[in-house]
Structures are given as C-alpha cells and as structure tokens.
Structure 1
Amino acid sequence: MSPHKAPDSSRRSDRSRRAIYDAALALVGEAGYARTTIEGIAARAGVGKQTIYRWWPSKAAVLMEAFIDLGTRAAEEAGGGGDYAIPDTGDLAADLKLVLRATVDELNDPVTEAPTRALAAEGIIDPALGAQFVEKLLDPQMQLYVTRLRSAQEAGELRDDIDPRIALELLIAPLTHRWLLRTLPLTHAYADAVVDHTLRGLGSGPMK
C-alpha cells in the first residue's frame, strides 16, 4: 500500500479562493452589489462564511480581489502571461484605437460591468476602498498610457509640452462618462472618434 498523503492545504485554499471569486462576481452580476452578501457568496462557493471573513474584511474586499484576479486570468488566457501593455507599432492613433476598443468591450461585458460599477460606487462611499481601487486597478492601467504617450513624444508624434497624464484623461474620461450615464451607446466608433479628436487637439497631425 502506498503511504497516506496529507491533504494539500495550499491547493484546497486556492480552490476555495477561486470558488469565492467566481461566486462574488456571479452574484454581483445577477443580483447587484447591494443584494450580494457574504453569506450568499459563501453558499454559492460552497464554503463557510467564516472562511471568507478569515481572508477578507468585507464583501467589497472580496469583490476587489476577485476583479483583479479576473483581469489577470484574462491576460493569461490571451497569452500575455498576466502582463498588460499598449502596443507600440509606431502608429499612435491605431494603437490607442485598439486599446480603447478593448476597453469598450470590457465596459460593455456583463461579466465585468457589474463589479466595475459596484467598486466605483462603493469607493465613493468608502475612502479606503476607493484608494485601493485607484492604487490596484486604475493607476497600473493609467501608467500604461503614460508610457505609450511618452514614447509618442520621443517619436515626434506629440508635442513635448504635453502632460501625458492629462492627455490620457482626455482619452479615458469620455468613455467613462458615457458608460456611467448610460444615456448614449458606448461603441467602437465612439472610441475611434475620441482618439481622433484628442490627437488632433494634442497636435499629433491630421486625423486618419
């Protein structure tokens, strides 16, 4: 007989965490953030609620971690190894349109839309959570734009006096505004128009 092996606690923990992530994202998408509870997440994940409280202080913290994990998994499945980047093909307009179209798809995706709205709204009420939302989710993405825009400056596609941080806000803010208000459709065509108008204003040459 082979010797008895003790259960691998780390593997069990990983499976439980992933089940909790999936349960949190699913429940927020189905019932909304306000009606999602720790008890509901625990029941959906098949774990005890004390397991969740041992790892996270609140359902917002669970959702934050679940959302970060979702993005990491998506990048890995796309072949990015968990790393994100804005392409640098030498054509700034084309590169920005590519990434903003992907942003439109993500914002319109029911899987990601509900948790994104929940975290954004809860971050306004809870300053600590809001700071985490910015630090862990927004700032890393914003830095990618800064890097690409600085590369464009070095290549002469943008004026040297442009502040990349302000420039990226000109690109992102219109999409976020339309997405938050839900008054007009958020489409690839709109993303392309935002890029064209923004780059014309930044002095990068005629629209393509």
Structure 2
Amino acid sequence: MTHFGPIVTLLLALAAQPVLAQDAPGSRPKPRPERSETVAAAPQPAPDPASPAASREIAVPEGPERGPETNLPLPRFVSLSTDRGNVRRGPSLSHRIDWVFLRRDMPLQVTAEYGHWRRVTDREGVGGWMHYAMLSGVRTVIVDAELLPLRSRPQENATVVAQLEAGVVARLGECEPDWCRLTAGGYKGWAPKTLIWGVAPDEIRD
C-alpha cells in the first residue's frame, strides 16, 4: 500500500506560503501576478541649472572598481530598505523623480556614487539616483525563471524542497561558482545562479 501523507503535507505547506507554487498533476504552475515593483512618477519641474549636482556629469564605471564615497566595489548589489523609494534623475533633491520603487527588499545594483546618493538599476534596467538611506547591504535576489526548484544540495539531481514562482524575492546566503543558497517563505535550498537576479556570475559567498 502506498502512503501519500508526507507528499500531501508538503503540498499543503507550500500552498500556505504566498511565495511558493504548488505542483499540480499534469500542469505547470504559472506565476501569480504581483503588484508592480516600479511606477513612473508624475511630471515635475526641471532641476535648478545653478545646482552643482545638476550641472555636474557623473561618470558611470564600465568595469569593476571602488566607489569614491564608500570604497566598496562597483558595481555591487544591495536591496531596498523601504516600502517606497524615490528614484531621481540626478543625485540631489532638486532633480525630478522619474520612478518609484514599491517593493521592500527588492535587489538593486549600484553602479555609481556621488555624496549621499547612489545610482541604481533593477533587473529590468530601470533606475536612477537614490539616497543611500533607502538602501541596505542585506543581500536578496529575485527569481528570474517561471518556476525555480530549491534543492537540498547544489546539484541538479538533488531533492526539491520547494519551488519558487517568478518574481519571488529571496534572502541570499552562501554562493558557490554555479549555485546559491536561498531562503524564502520559511524554506531553504540551493538554486542555479542563472535563474536568479541579484548576484554576480563569479561571486562567491561563505
């Protein structure tokens, strides 16, 4: 006699987590729609041309280097520390707001620094300048696949402990050359780097 208890329990546990997808026999789960991470801001007055920040061109590095303000690597990944983050056209309050990030913990990539401001982009390439107080060094990633299996070990044939839908934000743990350990919805497991956004391809984390 075959016992299905443990499997049913696992599926029910997955269903209770809004960030996890169920396995339905004969069908593949589709990503659940989520609220938009980014919205365009309303038109605003142009910045004062007399402002030093408005007139100064900010150089964006083309390769890995150190930020002039923090001495941290550029580019690098951070996360949004607030539920609403204004993204400005330039590094000052006098610059217009082009976008608003609406999802706390979403991963962002820092590409330049100027004073208390950081130039960032999201996984879609949308971005601009944000005040550093809205950013956190806590590392997260976003699922960049329709359905991402979390595995018990960093191997393709390892047991699947949970599955994450597209757009889910997970906490980033240790990383090997091709795999990273993630935490989401109370589950922990390994995922290929190629299926997540928020970590460099050659990044190693202990």
TM-score, normalised via structure 1 length = 0.22
Q: Which has the higher helix share?
A: 1
TM-score, normalised via structure 2 length = 0.22
